Amino acid sequence: MRFSIRPAISHIDGSGRPTSLDKALNLLSEVDACGNLRQASERLRISYRHAWNILAELDTLLGDSVVEMTRGRGSHLTDLGRKLVWAHKQVEARLMPLLDSMASEIEAELHAVVPQGQGALRLFASHGFAVDALHKRLIRKHGELEINYRGSLDAVDALSRGACDIAGFHIPQGPLLEPVLANYAKLFKPTFRLVCLATRGQGIMVAKGNPKQIWSIADLAKAPVRLVNRQENSGTRMLLELLLAQAGIDRRDLAGFESIEFTHAAVAAYIASRKADVGIGVEAAARQFDLDFVPLLTERYFLMFEERLLHDSRFRPILETLESGEFKAEVSRLPGYAPSLSLELLKPDEAFPTLGRR
């Protein structure tokens, strides 16, 4: 049994009756992407006439036009159309990972009542674009993998307690490796094994053109700068707190430090909506919302699990997917990401040699 939970935007008329805008928003998004209504309708596999009718109905519903069509110049969204597409993108960025987690939890609860084989493996993971791509590819091809997005530290803690089968977390390379690793070391077990999913860039996300001139962590102390942060026990928040300490900045002096979002994309959407000036996140999220990105560091994203899982038939599709050229190509297309060059299965002290000296 598989389930999907999707956010929906509806228009409410004067009598309180809702009208779903899902089809219209999908069409507007395609028009925005390709600049042509006919091509947009072909991408959605609907007739041009049907696409025209969807837009006409939306114009009537809202009392204004959402698309301008000019002979020889294609189709372009009006200000109203752009605002609708923008709202759609924000909703998806902020809610989709949480809804995917909820759908996985529902599936797990129902499978417990109506057992189907061994059940799905449980992946608790810090949200990221590569792990999301892995999950979606596995679900399409194999149909089973329960995912629950949470902070890196929470994911590793859950694995240590046996609350999940696989933990996804990220560790920076360079000077911050050791102080970050110290937060995880007490949770590692000799029986754990790690495989690197990908490397990715973390940095500062700011509005296009960087109007506040934020080029370093030290610039966060400038006034007035509004920050949007990640939740407690997330790897990205851990990085920010360490960087602030290095720069001698008291987090209590930062406006918005306690304003949190739960994914990189949600942080990017928050900045793009001008509710904040800056946030820390991955480059892929910045590019998704047409933000500027100031690189800070590179990190490795790991999957960690008990060694015995290597003999579990449910785990084999994960390794096969990681090794596939299709998946590596998909990760390579993500801005700031690179697939792992080595899929060697490592013990914790092999992945992090300094653990043996602790």
pLDDT tens-digit series, residues 249-275: 999 889 999 998 988 999 999 999 889
Domain boundaries in the chain?
A: 1-116, 121-357
- 138 touches 40 (CB < 8 A): no
Q: pTM for this one?
A: 0.79
Contact by Cβ (8 Å): 276, 270: yes
For residue 356, pLDDT over 80 is answered with: no
Q: Is 90 exceeded by the pLDDT of residue 332?
A: yes
- Write the CA distances from 66 to 21, 37, 358, integer angstroms: 13, 12, 62
Q: If we measure between CA atoms, which residue out of 158, 176, 175 comes closest to residue 167?
A: 158
Domain 121-357 fold is D-Maltodextrin-Binding Protein; domain 2 (3.40.190)
Judged against a pLDDT cut of 90, whether residue 161 lies above it is answered with yes
- Identify which of 18, 24, 16 has the alpha carbon closest to the alpha carbon of residue 44: 24
Residue 211 pLDDT > 90:
yes
Please name the fold of domain 1-116. Arc Repressor Mutant, subunit A (1.10.10)
110 is written with which tokens? Answer: 């129902």
Q: Of 45-59, 115-129, 330-344, where does mean pLDDT reach its minimum?
A: 115-129
pLDDT value of position 14: 82
Is residue 143 very low, low, confident or very high in pLDDT (cuts 50, 70, 90)? low
> What count of Cα atoms within 13 Å lies in the side-chain half-sphere of residue 93?
24
Q: Pairing state of beta strands 18-20 and 292-306? A: unpaired
Residue 72's pLDDT is what?
66
> Which residue carries 């306690």 as its tokens?
258
Q: How far, in Å, CA of 290 to CA of 284, rounded?
A: 10
**What pLDDT does residue 296 have?**
97
Structure tokens at 151: 């902070």
Give the mean pLDDT of the chain: 89
Round to whole Å and give the CA distance between 172 and 189.
20
Cis peptide before 224 (omega within 30 of 0): yes
Tokens matching residue 234: 């997330």
Take residue 111 and report the two structure tokens written for it: 């499978």
Is the sign of the CA dihedral 148, 151, 157, 160 positive or negative? positive
Q: Give the phi and the psi of residue 267 in degrees, each rounded to 5.
A: -60, -45
